[in-house]
Amino acid sequence: MIQQIYPVPAHNFLYELNKDFHFAAAHYIADEEAGKCQYTHGHTYFVNVTIAGNTLDSTGFLINFKTIKDLIHNRFDHSTLNKDPAFLDAQGDYFPTTEVVARSIYDIIQGHLETLANKPVCLQVFLRETPTSYCIYRPKGGAER
Ligand SMILES: Nc1nc2c(c(=O)[nH]1)N=C([C@H](O)[C@H](O)COP(=O)(O)OP(=O)(O)OP(=O)(O)O)CN2
Ligand SMILES: [Zn+2]
């Protein structure tokens, strides 16, 4: 939810930045275990991304808030997630579940951060799929880097 405070692991970075945004997307989980979710349906996903680092860029940003949103929103908003290359592999670990979408958002953002000279890192992605269901993805060792 926008304006919600999210749990974040303790860390020693000087700066911790959080960006909230949302996107609307359709998906289905192609497994009978998913019950009604095996049929195409849609969600408004709420995302909170936590990025940390010790060095600002020449603008005084760890990273521009807009860049974080654009990386994900431009790719997934008003899409069918199952058609995205991140979820095309027909195995359970690649179905666009809340867990896998959260991990994919992390991978996209961290991949971009690694191209930046000031080297911020993504500590976690909080992804709310429904009013009652969310997942937090944290890379192993993230807060110790
Ligand atoms: N571990 C997971 N379980 C389920 C996922 C998932 O991504 N990871 N996804 C679904 C469905 O896609 C669905 O979108 C969400 O399910 P659920 O929370 O059960 O939704 P409801 O609105 O029906 O839940 P209420 O308890 O009525 O609020 C299913 N499981
Ligand atoms: Zn769903």
103 alpha carbon – ligand 1 mean position (Å)? 17
1: pLDDT strictly greater than 70: no
Residue at token pair 């930046």: 116
- The helix/strand/coil state of 80 is strand
By CB atoms closer than 10 A (0-12, 13-18, 19+), residue 29 is buried
pLDDT digits (tens, 9 = 90+) for 5-63: 788 889 999 999 999 999 999 999 989 999 999 999 999 999 999 999 999 999 999 99
Mean pLDDT of the chain: 93
Give the mean model confidence (pLDDT) for residues 98-127.
97
DSSP codes of every residue in 4-41: ----------SEEEEEEEEEEEEE---SGGGGGGGS-E
- Smallest CA separation from ligand 1 atom 25, residue: 132
Q: Which ligand approaches the C-alpha of residue 131 most closely?
A: 1
145: pLDDT strictly greater than 80: no
**Index of the ligand 1 atom closest to the CA of residue 35:** 29
Q: Kindly list the structural domains of the chain, giving each domain's residue range(s) and its CATH number in brackets, ordered by start.
A: 15-144 (3.30.479.10)
